[in-house]
Each structure stands twice: as structure tokens, then as C-alpha cells.
Amino acid sequence: MMKEEQVVWKADSSNIYERFIEQYDEALNGEKELTAGDQDTRYALKLQQERLREKNVKMRYRITPRGFMADGKSLPRKWMDRHYVSEMAYYTSLWERVIEPSGGKPYRQKSKMTIYETKTDVIGGSNVEDEIYVCPGCGAPSKIRDLLNGCQYCGSKFQMSELYPTITSNYLVRDFSFTKDEMKKHLMKFMIGTAIGTFIFGIIIRGVKGMLSPLTVGSIISLILISVFSGVVLGYVLSSYALIGSLIKQAGRTVPMMGAIGAGKRFEFFMKKYSPEFSYEYLTGKTIAMLKMILFAKNAQELPFYLGGPLEGRFQDLVDVLFRGAMGFRSMKEKDGYLHVTVDVFLENAYVTDGKVRAGKDEKLRVTLVKNLNVPIQYNFSIKKLECPNCHGSFDATKNKTCPYCGGTYRIEDADWAIEDIQVI
Ligand SMILES: [Zn+2]
Ligand SMILES: [Zn+2]
């Protein structure tokens, strides 16, 4: 028997992307804090954990970088505002997921995935001491200067390296590439399988034909030779067919996304007219993060950045969301200083209904985003430290509908992107 190859991977602790991957699995179980992720990323994770708890479902991930980009690769583009710079990197990896409903059968999955992460850092030389940061100790929004000296609410002291860089968005996309070794393994599996199959078939045939004469050394050797030969030749052919078959299946799943693939460039071209610092990568990461929070929230309408109507009830059974890597641009409309952008987002969702897991459900959501055109993007934006347009106090928008200092109301779309409508297509 072939031994299952145990992939050993160790995160480089000085690399925030790798620390994030290492923490993510255990953070999902609630065993570890996701310190490499920013407040909004942690909040999204918290909402998903609450959903899992409420549904009595345990879910585990294991992400192990492998393949062509096991050491990570940075995307060439960076996007920045006055103080912050963001960039993205991806790691090809092996992803294992177990979804275990209480009392039900655990659903296990193993697949190749690429994990995309956005890292946000302070631009070198930029003074951000007066900028607001959510205290990693107690969650209160504070000036960075205060956090460096000791948080005025909880007393925790931080170093700048503990605050930035931070991972501000992440998602997993299926990876269909094969490394040479994986190709060999795939081939070997079919060759050995076919050889064993031929051997067993040979023995059975003898019985069927009534040739029940005792097996001689000669007949066994010839059967072994035939089996090996058929393993090599037929196994090769079968493995190719299996590969083509799975590619056709994947291609079939990809067809509905065709219009969306490569839409980034066109989208960016239109958007740059409105905001020169527009980044397609940022909007994608942002949209996925907001969608996850909306879909996992107990009541989506209580989220500050969701302005739409109630969601379909079945989303209450949703336990995991994967982004399929394509976001298609549909339309945009400018009205009274606000930009409304409609995009199609392709997701692969996992549901647990009555203790039964249904994973791999492809879904397309038509999402309309809105943002005030006159407000520049801030790449350190967080719903956990919204700035009051009235008194400039900072507060957690997930907990306050109005400013706790002056009682003023706010519109989140005056600060960053919000989602105003979601249609299931
Ligand atoms: Zn604190
Ligand atoms: Zn205020």
C-alpha cells in the first residue's frame, strides 16, 4: 500500500500571511485568537462561530500550504491612501474541512485551495499616532498613541508591530492545478488500481470458466505479468479519462461565471473615473467579508452596513461560505452623490439542515453596494471604530445605532461601502 504522504508545514512567524494561515484553523474552533486578523475579520469569524454553535455544528479546517505557491506569492499591485498601504498574497494549499452536526454523520472534505489574504500596513515614515485603532485587549477604539502607552480602558500596552501589519481580508478559492508529484500520484493510483483489478478479474474468470484446476506457479506468474501490463497501459488511459472528466465537470461549473472572469479590469476602468484610488482587490475582499457577516448574522438587518430587506429563511442553515473567485460587474448608477454598484458574486455554500450536511452548493448572489462618492476610501476602515461625522468620537458600529457621545446618527455609506440589496439569482 502507498503511504499517505504527511505534509509538514511550519509558519514563518515573522510573516503575517503565514501566521494568519496557522491561526485560522484553530481560531475557527474557538481554540485560539486570530491575532493576525483585524477586528472586522475577527468579527466575521465570531458571527460564523455563533451560527455553528446555534446549529450545534462543529466545523474544523486544516490549511496546509502545498503546490506551486506553497511559499506564497504577492500580487504585483498595491493600493494605498494617505497612511496605509494594502497588498495581497496567495498560497496554494491543501484544505481539509470537517463539518460535524451533533448526532449526525460528519462530512469530510479534502481539496486543493488557494488562500488569498490582504495585508494592510502603515506606509513607512507615516505618523499614525493620532489614528484610531481598536484595542486588541478590550475592543475599545483608542488612539494608537494611547495603545502604545497603555490603553486607558484596560491598561494593555502594545508595540507598533502588534498593531500593524494586519490581515484585513481573506478568502479561499479552489485550485485545480496539479504539481508533478500530484500528477504522478494520480497516475499511480490508477495504475495500481487497474493492476489489482485485472488480477482479481483473472482469478474470477478461471472460476467462471470452470477451469478449477489448481493455480500453478506458471499461471500465477503469467496473470501477474498481464496485470502489470494492463495496470500500466489501461491504468494510464483510465487516469487520463478521469482527469478529463473532472476538468469537464469543473468547466461545467465555471460556465455560469464566464462573464465575470476578467471583469476586474473593465470594472476598475469605470470606477477610476469616480475614485482614482479604487482597487478591485479591495472591493472584492470587502464584499466577501460583508456578505459573510450578513449571511451569518442572526439578524442581518442589525448590521450597520446592511441596508437591505430580510434575507431568505434558508440562510439560517448556512454554516460555511467559499468564494468561487469570480465577481462580475453588472452596472453602476450615480445618484445624489452616492454611487450604487451592482455585482454578481459566485459562492459555494455549505448548509446543515436537520442534522444533514449539504456542501458544495453553487450560488449566485446579485449584490448592490453603495458608497458616498465624496468621501475618499480609508484602507484602515473598520466597523468597530466608526468615526462620528458630528463630534468625531469613535465607537463600535456593530453595537451602537447612534453615536454614544453626541447621540448623532450616521450613515455607514458615508464612510465606506455598504450593501443595500442582495438578490439570489
Ligand atoms: Zn483596551
Ligand atoms: Zn458623535
CA 138 to centroid of ligand 2, rounded, Å: 21
Q: State the ligand closest to the CA atom of 147.
A: 1
pLDDT for the residue 2: 45
Please report whether residue 398 resides in a domain: yes
CA 394 to centroid of ligand 2, rounded, Å: 8
Residues 277 and 191 in one domain: no
CA 42 to centroid of ligand 2, rounded, Å: 25
pLDDT for the residue 213: 61
Q: State the ligand closest to the CA atom of 395.
A: 2
Residues 163 and 126 in one domain: yes
Q: State the ligand closest to the CA atom of 397.
A: 2
Boundary of a domain, candidates 153, 174, 195? 174
Residues 324 and 233 in one domain: no
User: Running along the chain, 425 residues long, what does each successive block of 10 average in pLDDT?
Assistant: 60 93 91 90 94 94 90 87 91 94 91 93 91 90 93 93 93 84 87 92 75 71 89 89 80 68 73 78 90 95 94 94 88 91 94 93 94 86 90 91 92 93 94
pLDDT for the residue 391: 93
Please report whether residue 287 resides in a domain: yes
CA 256 to centroid of ligand 2, rounded, Å: 46
Phi and psi at 81, nearest 5°, equal -120, -150
Residue range 22-50, pLDDT digits in tens: 999 999 988 888 999 999 999 999 999 99
| pTM of the complete model | 0.85
CA 382 to centroid of ligand 1, rounded, Å: 16
Please report whether residue 196 resides in a domain: yes
Surrounding residues of ion ligand 2, Cβ less than 5 A: 388, 390-391, 393, 403, 405-406, 408
Residues 198 and 218 in one domain: yes
Q: State the ligand closest to the CA atom of 153.
A: 1
CA 127 to centroid of ligand 2, rounded, Å: 25
Q: State the ligand closest to the CA atom of 392.
A: 2
Please report whether residue 1 resides in a domain: no
Residues 269 and 410 in one domain: yes
Residues 249 and 268 in one domain: no
Residues 153 and 190 in one domain: no
Residues 381 and 346 in one domain: yes
CA 323 to centroid of ligand 1, rounded, Å: 34
Residues 275 and 340 in one domain: yes
CA 157 to centroid of ligand 1, rounded, Å: 8
CA atoms of 328 and 326, how far apart (whole Å): 6
Number of domains in the chain: 3
CA 401 to centroid of ligand 2, rounded, Å: 11
CA 339 to centroid of ligand 2, rounded, Å: 25
Query: Residue 262: CB partners within 8 Å, gap ≥ 6?
Result: none
CA 291 to centroid of ligand 1, rounded, Å: 28
Segments forming the whole domain that contains residue 405:
261-424
pLDDT for the residue 259: 63
